[in-house]
Structure 1
Amino acid sequence: MFQPDKYQKKDRQYIFDFIKAHPFATFVIKGKELLATHIPILLKGNAENFILYGHIAEANEQYRHLKNELEGLLIFHGAQGYVSSSWYKNVDISTWDYSAVHVNVNLKIQSREELVESLKNLVHRFEKDQDDPVYYEDLPEEMIEDHLPMITGFWCEPTKIQAIAKWHQGYDKDDIHSVTRHLEMRGDPLSSELSKNIKKEHGTGN
């Protein structure tokens, strides 16, 4: 990852919280060519010592290449957006603000029991806030038995972690105010989240 010093994020708690808040990742491995899939990835552990896990369908081309100790890359994406040079008080260059975490990992294939536990955790994570949640345990046994053989779960042991947050570091208060105001005027969730990130980085309000 290209990481200018001023945009690097090295705090482990920041990285842990970022992954937890943005669990839908890009999962990249090398087969006959580079292969990527977009899947939810969850954490187990704490900021100082964690492992990640997920699963893919056996119909996925990546499945044919999964094995223990295979190297993979997980990319977690935060809010991002274009920033126009017209928003600055002085002439400058347009840019793109964004945040991301890259985690290089070694894979370990899960047992059936580990996969079941992982699926229970995954479903609970995203169902618990629903009005009428349907948990893994609520699914018909026949349905579960039909689907389990079609997916493979895996652990992801981190070997390298990089994090970047390009949030207009180095700009003055007037430009920060203008950038965040224009982002909010777009009215879309990504721009609004990006504006909040920039404000938090610069301590300019909620």
Structure 2
Amino acid sequence: MYIPAHYKNENLKEVKEFIKKNSFGILVNLVKGRPWASHIPLELDVDVDGQDILVGHISKANLQLEDLAKDQEVLCIFNGPHSYISSSWYQEEEVPTWNYIAVHVYGTLHIMDEGAVLASLHKLVDKYEQDSERPISLHDLSPNTMRQIKGIIGFQIVIKDIQAAYKLSQGRKEDHPNIIHELKKTGCPASGAIAEHMASKK
């Protein structure tokens, strides 16, 4: 990913937290020589050796499986908030732009066995059910319902490289107060989130 130096975030702890909070990602590889992408949960975890990994699963009917060979390098994309930035918010004339947060993760993919897949699904459901008024557990589901798991393939991606772009008007510090003010005025949740990120970087 092209990232100008002043937009690059090399704070690995912060970037990992971003991935955890924005874990519905995009898995990209080549299928018959063409780019192919699936929008799926990709959970950040560590393996038995303490290596950072992403854990996910896709349907066995997904054509992406055809070329997901062992040790193939894949790309995982995680998108955060983004917002249009009007140059009318600047003190001096300039073109408009767009602020955003995006993370690209590269790694090698390995297919998991059925036991590991089931364990990962328990962990995934428990994570997202914990704040529910009536949380469910996979333990509570009938064998008939759980048979659907036979239709998926689980995998781990051993992370080799993380690239993080945090484009937050870094070159316009003098305009930050007004940009933040105008972003909050829009009432758009994504714009508000960008404003909060800009404010936290002061």
Same fold (TM over 0.5): yes
For the residue of structure 2 that corresponds to 1:129, the secondary structure is coil
Q: How many residues align?
A: 199
- Contact 2:51–2:158 at 8 Å: present in 1 too? no
What is the 5 A alignment of 1:112-123? 112-123=114-125
Q: Which residue of structure 2 aligns with residue 37 of structure 1?
A: 38
Deviation at 1:92, TM superposition (A): 1.1
The residue that corresponds to 1:182 in the other structure is 182
Report the CA distance between 1:170 and its aligned residue: 2.5
Whether the 8 Å CA contact 2:75–2:104 is kept in 1: the answer is yes
| Identity percentage of aligned residues | 33
* 1:71-150 matched pairs, under 5 angstroms: 71-145=73-147, 147-150=148-151
- The answer on 1:194 being equivalent to 2:194 is yes
Q: Distance in 2 between matches of 1:159 and 1:13?
A: 16
Query: 1:140-176 CA deviation, whole Å, 9 max, x = no partner?
Result: 122102x111100000011221111001112134x11
- Hey, what does 1:7 align to over in structure 2? 7
Residue 179 of structure 1 deviates from its aligned partner by 0.9
Unmatched runs of 5 consecutive residues or more in structure 2: none
TM superposition shift of 1:111: 0.2
Tell me the SS of whatever aligns to 1:148: helix
Residue of structure 1 in register with 2:155 after alignment: 154
Q: Which runs of 5+ in 1 are unaligned?
A: none
Per-residue deviation, residues 62-90 of structure 1 (Å, max 9, x unmatched): 12222211211001111101101111121
Q: Letter of the aligned partner of 2:23 in structure 1?
A: P
User: Hey, what's the Cα distance between the residues in 1 that align with 2:134 and 2:67?
Assistant: 38
| Partner Cα distance (2:60, 2:173) in 1 | 51
Q: Which digits, 9 at most, give the CA deviation of each residue in 1:39-67, with x for residues without a partner?
A: 11111139x84111100011212122222
Alignment RMSD, CA only?
A: 1.4
Residue 167 of structure 2 corresponds to residue 163 of structure 1? no
Query: Deviation per CA, 1:89-126, whole angstroms, max 9, x where unpaired?
Result: 21111100001111111000000000000100111111
Q: Please give the alpha-carbon distance, in whole angstroms, between the structure 2 residues aligned to 1:59 and 1:156.
A: 20
Partner Cα distance (1:149, 1:18) in 2: 31
TM-score, normalised via structure 2 length? 0.94
Offset of residue 184 of structure 1: 1.0
Aligned equivalents of 1:172, 1:156: Cα separation in 2: 38
Amino acid at match of 2:196: K
Aligned residue identity for 2:197: N
